[in-house]
Structure 1
Amino acid sequence: MSDSHDHLGNLRRALVLFRERGVELVLHAGDFVSPFVSEPFRELGMRVIGVFGNNDGDKLYLRERFSGVGELHFGPHEFVLEGRRIVLMHEPRALSAFLASGQYDLIVYGHTHKPEIRGGRPLLINPGELGGWLTGQPSAALVDLEALKGELLRL
C-alpha cells in the first residue's frame, strides 16, 4: 500500500481485506502522514515495513508510534524477505537505476497515486493511492513472493 494520507476508513478496509487474504506483512511506500495511522495496524495485529513519503511530517513520532508493529525507514529501503531482494521507496526518482541493476526481485514505490503492476523480474508495483483523495479510486496491491506475482485491489 501507499499514500494512505490519513484516510483511516480505507486503511482499515485494506487491512481487514489483507488479513482475510492471509497477508503476513504489509509494505507501505510512504505518505502515512500523521502518527495516529499506526492504530489500525496495532488494532488488527498487522506488521508493517514502511518508508517515509514527502508528506510525512513528524518522522520521529511516526517511527515511535509504529514501534511494536513495524519499522519505518528513510527510503529507498533495501531488504531480503523470504529469499527475495526487495527495494521499497516513495518517490520513484531512482526507479530506472533499480530496474536496470538486475539485483532485485520486487520493487515497490508510491507517490504518483497511479497504480501499476509490471510482471517479470523484477516485479514492479505501485499500489496506487490508498487514501483515494486525488483520484477517488482507492487501491492497494497484494504480492505473492513465492510466485513473484502481484494483484491490484480496488477498495
Structure 2
Amino acid sequence: MSGRIGVISDTHGLLRPQALAALDGCALILHAGDIGDPQILEALRRLAPLHAVRGNNDHGHWAEALPLALTVEHAGLRIHLLHNVRELALDPLATGIDVVVYGHSHKPRCEHHGGVLWFNPGSAGPRRFSLPIACGWLWAEGAAAQGEWQPLALD
C-alpha cells in the first residue's frame, strides 16, 4: 500500500472508521469535496499527506481556504482533483493529466477514456439512495494510471 494514493469523497461530515482503515498506509490521500467538517481533514492528515478540494456543500472559513480544483503530481502521475466533473475547466489530455478525480455524484467510477483515467471513489459518508458507501485507490502501473474503488464493509 505504500505507493498507493487513497481517494475519498462526499463524507458530508461523517468519517467512518472503515474509511480510515481503508486509507491507512497510503502514501497520499485525496479528498474530492463535500467534506462537511474540517475535523475530517485533520483525521485524514494523521494518516498521510492530504490534498482536498471544496465541494458545493462545504461552507465557512475553513472551506473557503480550499481550492475548487488542483493538480498534484505523485509517483509519476499527474492528477487533477475537483468535486463536480461537469465543472472541469481544462482538457486533461492536452495538459498532460493522467487521472481526473472527482466526486459529487456519489456514484463510483473507474474508466479509461482517451488515455486518461476518470475516477470517482463514490461517497464514504451518509448513504444516498441505494448507492454503495465506498472509497478507493490510485497507483501507477508502468506508464499507466490504475484505480480501484471498493465498497466499505459496514456493521
TM-score, with length taken from structure 2: 0.78
Letter in 1 for 2:27: E
Q: Contact (CA 8 Å) 2:93, 2:116: kept in 1 or not?
A: no
Equivalent position of 2:13 in the other structure = 6
Letter in 2 for 1:143: L
Unaligned 5+ residue runs, structure 2? Answer: 1-7
Provide, for residues 99-149 of structure 1, a one-character-per-residue CA deviation record: whole Å limited to 9, x for no partner: 453621111011111111003621110111111431352111111134521
Give distance in 2, aligned partners of 1:140 and 1:104.
21
Normalized per residue, which structure has more strand?
A: 2
Provide, for residues 64-107 of structure 1, a one-character-per-residue CA deviation record: whole Å limited to 9, x for no partner: xxxxxxxx731221122223211000011244853453621111
Equivalent position of 1:47 in the other structure = 49
Equivalent position of 2:38 in the other structure = 35
Q: Contact (CA 8 Å) 1:34, 1:57: kept in 2 or not?
A: no
Residue 91 of structure 2 aligns to a residue in which SS? helix
RMSD over aligned Cα, in angstroms?
2.3
Change in 2 beyond 3 A, CA 1:125/1:90: same
Change in 2 beyond 3 A, CA 1:143/1:56: same
Equivalent position of 1:127 in the other structure = 121
In the TM superposition, residue 46 of structure 1 has moved relative to its aligned partner by: 2.8
Q: Size of the alignment, in residue pairs?
A: 141
Letter in 2 for 1:52: R
Letter in 1 for 2:11: S
Q: Contact (CA 8 Å) 2:92, 2:98: kept in 1 or not?
A: no
2:26 to 23, 26, 42: 23
Letter in 2 for 1:51: V
Equivalent position of 1:69 in the other structure = none
Change in 2 beyond 3 A, CA 1:61/1:86: same
2:66 to 70, 73, 81: 73
In the TM superposition, residue 31 of structure 1 has moved relative to its aligned partner by: 0.5
Q: Contact (CA 8 Å) 2:26, 2:47: kept in 1 or not?
A: no
Unaligned 5+ residue runs, structure 1? Answer: 64-71
